[in-house]
A and B are shown apart, each in its own frame.
Chain A
Amino acid sequence: MKAASFDYVRPESVAGAVRCLVDAEGDGKIIAGGQSLAPVLAMRLARPRILVDVNRIPGLGALRRDGDSLRIGAMVRHHDLLEQRHSPLLAEAARWIGHAAIRSRGTTGGSIAHADPSAELPVVAAALDATIHAVGPDGGRSIPAVDLFEGALETSLDENEMIVEIEMPIPTAWGFAELSRRHGDFGLVTVVAAEVEGSWRVCIGGLAAVPFRARECEWVLDCGPAGEDRIRQAARAAAAAIETSSDLHATADYRRAMAEEFTRRAIEQAVAATRAGAH
């Protein structure tokens, strides 16, 4: 359980980090919080030649509100997401990530780039149609979340690119529901329901290789006032569209049933908050 040898570099700028990646010729890996990468290295599932530590690059840890969106620096830690007050949805999602000792190191950019199918932040990013700002040798580009997640632990980021900022709208109403066996475990099913600019977004994590946007469910909700019947119908629509498989943790049927129930809960939570706000 010890990582294989690697060289360690600690660039002090984004340009410097990109240069390190280019120099590594495909054999470099960025380390941010390291809460997913360190175990991968310890188990030697990855053996990069060069580890590029981006922890000391100034500016990447900033989090600021920009109108109706939140701009989150790649190095903003889960702990900081939990503490911020701009987006209560992100604070709630962060509360579900691991434990205090994980949240103190783990980062937003790292979680998005790692693209674990059962992690919380990719589900939030996909639900809110977040924009991921990345920088590579040819400059910067902005990637919509739907185009970023390509598979389990796979993204469309180039090997020489790094995430610098994530931009997410602040929803007017939101709900978050997760099923995990023990507190702090990865979610079997994670659901985000949110209303952004008057339309519904529902995204489910833990079911497939990438966060699943439940478009049919969103469509049902967008068709009229969200009463109890419509919410049930929407949750059923989400479950019906799910393609999932059985594994060690749960059977496909169980996952689908729980996806329906937790989708219902997340939507109810969002709707209840809207009602409370209206009075």
Chain B
Amino acid sequence: MQVNFSVNGRMESVDVEPRCTLADALREDLGLTGTHLGCEHGVCGACTIMVDGQPTRACLMFAVQADGCSITTVEGLQNDDGKLHALQQSFCDRHGLQCGFCTPGMLMTAMDLLHREVEPSRERIREEMSGNICRCTGYVGIVDAVEEAARTLNSADPTD
């Protein structure tokens, strides 16, 4: 089936079987391999992306269901000048990743949280990130990174 949607601001068209998940369409058909697939049944959170502004598990949605939707993946996070987004930078600075497998999902989930809450407490960050599993770094660095990103974003000059 022919499916049209926008990904990170670009209109894309893919021809997929109905059983193809949105995650597979992004990875296999569009080459956007930043979205990682861990468990493929909605438990690990690695494939979290934004669909029409809402955090979504890309393994629990079929690509055909995303027809007409606006999608943001981890590849869409970096600034227009190619620099890392403040959230990505703070993951680097605060050792929020080790092997990096869970990181795309962590970033997208944290983005959603920071869209909704400008200054989440550590407890809130832990609560909101609890649907994303990390098997190597542990969570302290990740919570530090999200906390720091919130601070950076809050102190950023809006006219910049």
Residues of chain A touching chain B, judged by Cβ–Cβ distance below 8 Å, are 1-8, 10, 31, 34-35, 38-39, 41-43, 51, 53, 55, 79, 98-102, 104-105, 182-184
Q: Is the CB of A104 within 8 A of B55?
A: yes
Q: Hey, which chain B residues are within 8 Å of A39, CB to CB?
A: 41-42, 60
Supposing A5-B19, A100-B131 touch, asked if A35 and B42 sit within 8 A by C-beta, the answer is: yes
CB-nearest residue of chain B relative to A40? B41
Residues of chain B touching chain A, judged by Cβ–Cβ distance below 8 Å, are 1, 17-19, 21, 24, 39-42, 45, 48, 51, 54-57, 59-62, 64-65, 109, 112-113, 126-128, 130-131
Q: In the complex, which of the residues A42, A98, A101 contacts B48, with contact meaning CB atoms closer than 8 Å?
A: A101
What secondary structure prevails in chain B residues at the interface with A? mixed
What secondary structure prevails in chain A residues at the interface with B? loop
Complex formed: what's the CA distance from A184 to B43 in Å? 10
Count of inter-chain pairs, beta carbons less than 8 A? 90
The 5 closest A-B pairs by CB, nearest first: A99-B131, A8-B18, A39-B41, A104-B54, A1-B40
Q: Is the CB of A101 within 8 A of B19?
A: no
CB-nearest residue of chain A relative to B68? A56
Complex formed: what's the CA distance from A229 to B112 in Å? 45
Q: Is the CB of B42 within 8 A of A183?
A: no
CB-nearest residue of chain B relative to A50? B18
Complex formed: what's the CA distance from A75 to B19 in Å? 22
Complex formed: what's the CA distance from A267 to B48 in Å? 37
Q: Is the CB of B59 within 8 A of A38?
A: yes
CB-nearest residue of chain A relative to B43? A39
